[in-house]
Structure 1
Amino acid sequence: MASFEHDLKQIGGALGESLQKLHENIQRTKASKADEPPAGPAPSMRPPPDGDAQPDLFVPALYDVATKDSRSIMDVAVFRLSKKEKRAGDAIRYELPDGYVEVAAGHYGMASVWDYDIILMMISHFTEAMNRHREGRGPLPGRQFRPYISEILKFCRRSDGGRQYQEVEAALDRLKTTTLKVVRTEKGRNGRTLRKATAEGLIDNYEVVSYADNGHVLSVMIHAPEWLYREITEGRNPNVLTVHPDYFLIDAGIGRFIYRLARRSAGKTRSKWSYRLLYERSGSTGTLKKFTENLRKLVTANDLPEYTLQEEPGQDGPLLVMENREVAPDGP
């Protein structure tokens, strides 16, 4: 370094003076950065939109019902986790002990974990309506769900910019053309093994009415698929779980996937999953190495609602420990 500074001094004139000042500025910048504390982990949660806590007095409070999710599909990703990859015409297959689950995408691309927010809203609406019906305070809900566009955005904790209105229709296209196929085997009455295959879209059909000149949406109608409607309306206890409101603020797809899995498997206690099995259940198109890297960022941030995340070694690779934040340190 001393030799370099000596060489600069040997250069005379304006050029030498300019180079000397440039060198001094670089050294000051390096010294300033050295004094800065190391950056903390990148947060996995986005800030809530403006007016998030303020009720909209001009629309019914549909967005105010508790968020619910279908328990039966919370331990696999029935959607893509990536914002960039559309995965049109692609499929994800999850092997089960007695069959498999296949998620197949159509022309518009595979439904994303953010598109699935609309499904969460629909599940929540039907669950609330069924609770009122069972208590004698309302009729049996039909399969049509008619939210205002502002209610969808409010429920999903998104801003109400013009582009968001357009994105809702695009999300409905992907939800309608993404098919969930379940194949299972079971013993028949005569002892022979039966194979049962069922397939439905994430939604049945939809209708969006908007002004042709500016695209402003007037109304939305979503027809719930039979599997979802049946799961909520049949039986005394719908197979659904409450989801924390801050779920919608989780920015990364992998963060949303891990939260849903924790809610399903850890509940009020804790649960352990191998990184490899999580990778297989995520439907990710990336490598296990990249998935592990992203998962470790999530563990470092450790800011998901309700659950703490921790990595521990396992016999066949690292394990993710998901624990409810209310569990005592010496709890189970």
Structure 2
Amino acid sequence: MVTETPNQPDDDLFSDRGIGHLLPERHPQQDLFICDVADAVLKDLVQHMEHPFYSLSKKPETSIRRYEHNGNWIEITPSVKGLATIYDKDILIYCISQIMAKLNRGEAVSQRVRISSRDLLVFTNRGTAGKDYAALAEALDRLAGTRISTNVRAGDEEEYSTFGLIDAASIRRKHGLDGRLLWCEVKLSDWVFQAIRAQDVLTLHPDYFRLRKPIERRLYELARKHCGVQAEWRCSVEILHKKSGSKSPLKQFRYLLKEITASDHLPDYRIEFDEEADKVGFFNRNTMQQLAAMPRWIDEIRLESETYEAAREAAPGWDPYFIEAEWKAWLQTSAKAPPRKCDLAFIAFCARFYERRGDPN
């Protein structure tokens, strides 16, 4: 069940007619990282559910979203300024990318991230005019105001949790009403930061920020998560509509899928829409696999003998050589930079591996 205004179409269904499918590439890009909060935070709670936290509308969305499944539920409550949008999510992507870069270099990280406003705008392929700086402050308000609540039922007990996307934000700007932002400081919530520390992240194609329509970004995210580096992923249009968080009627959603299928401009994946079966297929273009081909440095990693002993302690009952193969495969598919201290990085991976998968027996 979703509590929201019915049949309110997404803005992106009716915008950008007659315009090129991708925005111009305003600035060069590097590797991007995204943390799927729904998957990373809630996967052990309601793992069969998908939660679109972000609004796909450019108009303020102030209704509460509620999803229920087998006695568990999740609510996303916006502030009076509206639900965080998929464009607001760019700020989180930038913060996460900065933290991941530090983790890969073996540096200390914190929930507080200092952001150069111009660097953020360049990173997300936006303009650098005054209105673009002003939009950042509005986005921070919506991110801070959006709250997620959920329950977990176990036997005759029930646990309730509530958290946000960011806990706080501060902004420094030039003096004067028209002064530009100099920097922002964002404090990520405990939930988001823990998900990052667990390295539940995926790389995004640089053209993600060139997608014009919110629904195109959301479809790419779903393909990236569910299809990943596999050859294909299929689902019904009805399920895709639910996962996307689109508020448009199914009829309009199908029309949009036809448009995106015809233009064939989604990065990394090709879409096929089977109208007769009312199903959608996402097919890997293999561009991601080429980018994530095994770097030579991964193949050349040689761990110390003491490291394998420490790995056995970190993941009791598991073969450390099996986990090493899993670790190298993860380094490959996540397009990681070389760890500064491979032995320590591997032991940390073993600990996370055991935390997730437990005793093999």
TM tier relative to shorter chain: 0.7 to 0.9
Aligned to 1:81: 56
Letter in 1 for 2:185: M
Correspondence list, 1:27-176, <5 A: 43-49=20-26, 52-53=27-28, 64=30, 66-73=31-38, 75-83=50-58, 85-88=59-62, 90-97=63-70, 99-133=72-106, 138-139=107-108, 141-176=109-144
Aligned to 1:24: none
Letter in 1 for 2:149: K
Q: 8 Å contact 1:104–1:180 — kept in the other structure? A: yes
Give the Cα separation in 1 of the matches to 2:175 and 2:19.
42
Larger mean CA deviation between 192-201 and 248-257 belongs to 192-201
Aligned to 1:312: 274
Residue from 159, 165, 179 that aligns with 1:215: 179
Letter in 2 for 1:178: T
Distance 1:298 1:124, change over 3 A: same
Aligned to 1:279: 241
Residue from 245, 252, 255 that aligns with 1:290: 252
Give the Cα separation in 2 of the matches to 1:95 and 1:299.
31
User: Which string of whole-angstrom CA distances, capped at 9 and with x for unpartnered residues, describes residues 243-270 of structure 1?
Assistant: 1111011111110110000000001121
CA RMSD of aligned residues (A): 2.2
Give the Cα separation in 2 of the matches to 1:322 and 1:184.
32
Q: Is residue 179 of structure 1 aligned with residue 147 of structure 2?
A: yes
Letter in 2 for 1:128: A
Identity of aligned residues (%): 25
Distance 1:92 1:129, change over 3 A: same
Give the aligned length: 259
Q: 8 Å contact 1:94–1:281 — kept in the other structure? A: no
SS at match of 2:219: helix
Q: Is residue 249 of structure 1 aligned with residue 210 of structure 2?
A: yes
Q: Is residue 198 of structure 1 aligned with residue 161 of structure 2?
A: yes
Distance 1:307 1:116, change over 3 A: same
Q: 8 Å contact 2:37–2:192 — kept in the other structure? A: no
Q: 8 Å contact 1:111–1:178 — kept in the other structure? A: yes
Q: Please say which structure displays the higher CA radius of gyration.
A: 1
Q: Which ranges in structure 1 are unaligned for 5 or more consecutive residues? A: 1-39, 54-62, 328-332
Letter in 1 for 2:197: T
Q: Which ranges in structure 2 are unaligned for 5 or more consecutive residues? A: 1-16, 40-49, 288-361
Give the Cα separation in 2 of the matches to 1:72 and 1:271.
21
Give the Cα separation in 2 of the matches to 1:101 and 1:128.
31
Calculate the TM-score normalised by the size of structure 1: 0.73
Q: Is residue 224 of structure 1 aligned with residue 197 of structure 2?
A: no
Residue from 219, 236, 260 that aligns with 1:258: 219
Give the Cα separation in 1 of the matches to 2:22 and 2:38.
23
